[in-house]
Amino acid sequence: MRLKLTIEYAGTRYSGWQIQKNARTVQGEIDRAIREVTGVNWFELYGSGRTDAGVHALAQVAHLDIDSTIRPEQLRRQINDALPSDINILRADPVRHKFHARHDAVARSYIYQIARRRTAFGKALVWWVKDDLDADVMRQVAAGFVGMHDFRTFSDDDPEEKSTQVLVEAFDVHEDGDLLLVHIEGSHFLWKMVRRLVGVLVEAGRGALTVEAAVGLLAEDSPLPARVTAPASGLFLERVYYPGDPRDQPVQAAVVLPRFSGRPAGG
């Protein structure tokens, strides 16, 4: 049977999604749990895409192709019992055998969480930026990246080996109390692209870049995006979209900071 797995995880303790030798990964933990629960040694577990070390997921998607008589919901519960607490399979839905978690995906979205104050609770899930940030300026910069563009300056991917053209369908900044939520949706994303875009938005928000200079990086081979790459802690794979999936879900924070009437001195 083939199952579509929807998975949430906190990536802090892992070297990304994909199985690696001598490294602890999310896929590796799920692979181990499946073997432990089913006793099956051959199966296919294929994710919709990689997430880097330290990056989280609200709804990663993978397909599991396995010969097992365990019912999907029972299998989901048993796998979860064998997983560490920071990885959780939300759903295990039977799908047609031709379904492919990566190749059938039509879009993906990410959320990046920026904290505008120091937090004792959400440090592993946000990037605390001490400087005051102008959210309106950040929105103007984000709007300049919407559309089909060559994002080679924002990635370590080699444009000689793969296309660096990406369609960004939506890119905006939302305010939620002491959080700024950067939301981006597109056809696919290059290695480190989202974190470098967020870093450039922050540089503009703190006044170190004009809107024109930030958007103009699309036409340059500049080292700046790499230098200002946002940390992995604030990045969440939000959704993976397939044909027919609704695309009008509200942007919500993955971690909620307690609200205060005033910001304490010193951040």
What pLDDT is stored for residue 250 in this prediction?
87
Domain with CATH 3.30.70.660 in the chain: 107-241
Please compute, for residue 193, the number of CA atoms within 13 A of its CA located in the half-sphere on the CB side: 26
Could you please report the per-residue DSSP string of 105-160?
--EEEEEEEEESS--SS-GGG-EE--S---HHHHHHHHHHT-EEEE-GGG--S-TT
In the chain, DSSP assigns E strands to: 2-9, 44-47, 56-65, 87-94, 107-115, 127-128, 147-150, 165-176, 179-186, 235-241
pTM: 0.92
Cα distance between residue 19 and residue 131, in whole Å: 37
How would CATH label the architecture of 2-94? 2-Layer Sandwich (3.30)
Helices and strands, number each (H, E), in the chain: 6, 10
Q: Bridge-partner residues for 91, per DSSP? A: 6
pLDDT at 265: 46
> Which residues fall within 8 angstroms of residue 261, CB to CB, at 6 or more apart?
none
Whether residue 110 contacts residue 230, with contact meaning beta carbons closer than 8 Å, is answered with no
Is residue 52 part of the annotated active site? The answer reads: yes
**One of 52, 86, 104, 134 is an active-site residue; which one?**
52
Pick the CATH number of 107-241 from 3.30.70.660, 1.10.530.10, 3.20.20.70, 3.50.50.60: 3.30.70.660
Spell out the per-residue pLDDT of the chain, length 267, in tens: 999 999 999 999 999 999 998 999 999 999 999 999 999 999 999 999 999 999 999 999 999 999 999 999 999 999 999 999 999 999 999 999 999 999 999 999 999 999 999 888 888 999 999 999 999 999 999 999 999 999 999 998 776 678 999 999 999 999 998 999 999 999 999 999 999 999 999 999 999 999 999 999 999 889 999 999 999 999 999 999 999 999 888 898 887 676 655 554 445
Q: What is the pLDDT of residue 260?
A: 57
- pLDDT in the model for residue 259: 66
Could you give the CA distance from residue 137 to residue 209 in angstroms, rounded to a whole number? 10
Report how far residue 256's alpha carbon sits from residue 151's, in angstroms, rounded to the nearest whole number.
31
Instruction: Kindly state the helix (H) or strand (E) to which residue 31 belongs, with its residue range.
Output: helix 26-38
Domain span(s) for CATH 3.30.70.580 in the chain: 2-94
Task: Look up residue 215 and give its two tokens.
Answer: 């958007």
DSSP letter (8 states) at residue 1: -
pLDDT at 262: 54
